[in-house]
Amino acid sequence: GAGKASHYISLTRLDTAGRIVLDGKQFSVEGTSWMDHEFFSHQLEGDQAGWDWFSLQLADHSELMLFRLRRKGGSVDPFSAGTFVDPQGHTRHLAAGDFTVTPGKTWTSPATGGRYPVEWTIEVPSIGFKASLHTPMAQQELTGSSRTGTSYWEGAIDVDAMRLGRPLTGVGYLEMTGY
C-alpha cells in the first residue's frame, strides 16, 4: 500500500563452517547457509492474520522463496510474492497469482494452542514445479516474548519435488505466524 514497504536481501548459498557446542561436546559443521534480512516500514495491516514464509535450497542449485500473507477472513493478500533463482543465478519475480501453497497436516503447540501446518504442498506452474514439504521435527515453536507477545513457528523442512518432470529434493526453512 501507499507509504509502506518491505524489502529483502537474501544470500542463498553461503559456504558455512564452524562448530557447535552441545552439552559440553564440540561438533564440527560445514555446509551451505541461507542469510535473509528484511527492512520494513510497518507491521501487519488490521485485516491480516499472519504469514507463511518458505525458503528452499534445491539439489539442482536452484532456490525458491515464497511468502503468503493471510487475511483474517481466510483469503490470501495480493501482496504475497516470491522469487525463483535458477541454477545459473537468474532471478524471476513471482506474484501472488503465480503460485499456490496449500497447508496439510498440523501440529498443535502445548504452550500456546497454536495449530501450525507442518506439511505443505507448493505449486509454481510457470516453472513446472510442484513440491511436498514436511518437517523432520514438528515442535519448533518460539513462544512470544513479554514485549511482543507474538509466537512463531520457525524451523527446518525437507523438500520432495518435481521440476519439469524430474524428481528433485531439497531442504529449507519455514516461518509461520498468526496461528
Q: Which pLDDT score is estimated for 145?
A: 60
The string of DSSP codes covering 155-168 is EEEEEEEEETTEEE
Q: Which pLDDT score is estimated for 42?
A: 65
Please state whether beta strands 48-58 and 25-40 pair in parallel, antiparallel, or not at all (unpaired).
Answer: unpaired
Q: Which pLDDT score is estimated for 147?
A: 57
Identify the H or E element spanning 103.
strand 100-103
Q: Which pLDDT score is estimated for 148?
A: 59
Long-range contacts made by residues 113-121, C-beta under 8 angstroms, separation at least 24?
114/141, 114/151, 114/153, 114/179, 115/179, 116/141, 116/153, 116/176, 116/179, 117/52, 117/176, 117/179, 120/52, 120/54, 120/157, 120/174
Cα–Cα distances in angstroms (integers) from residue 174 to residues 9, 17, 93, 106, 129, in the given order:
17, 22, 19, 14, 18
Q: Is the dihedral of CA 58, 64, 70, 76 positive or negative?
A: negative
| Whole-number Å distance between alpha carbons of 62 and 13 | 10
Whole-prediction pTM value? 0.85
Q: How far is CA 95 from the centre of its chain?
A: 16
Residue by residue, pLDDT tens for the chain (179 residues) are: 677 777 778 888 889 999 999 999 999 999 888 888 877 766 677 777 788 999 999 999 999 999 998 989 888 888 899 999 999 999 999 999 999 999 999 999 999 999 999 999 999 999 999 999 999 999 999 887 655 567 889 999 999 999 999 999 999 999 999 88
110: its cell numbers:
502445548
124, 64 contact by CB (below 8 A): yes
Q: Which pLDDT score is estimated for 169?
A: 98
| Whole-number Å distance between alpha carbons of 5 and 98 | 21
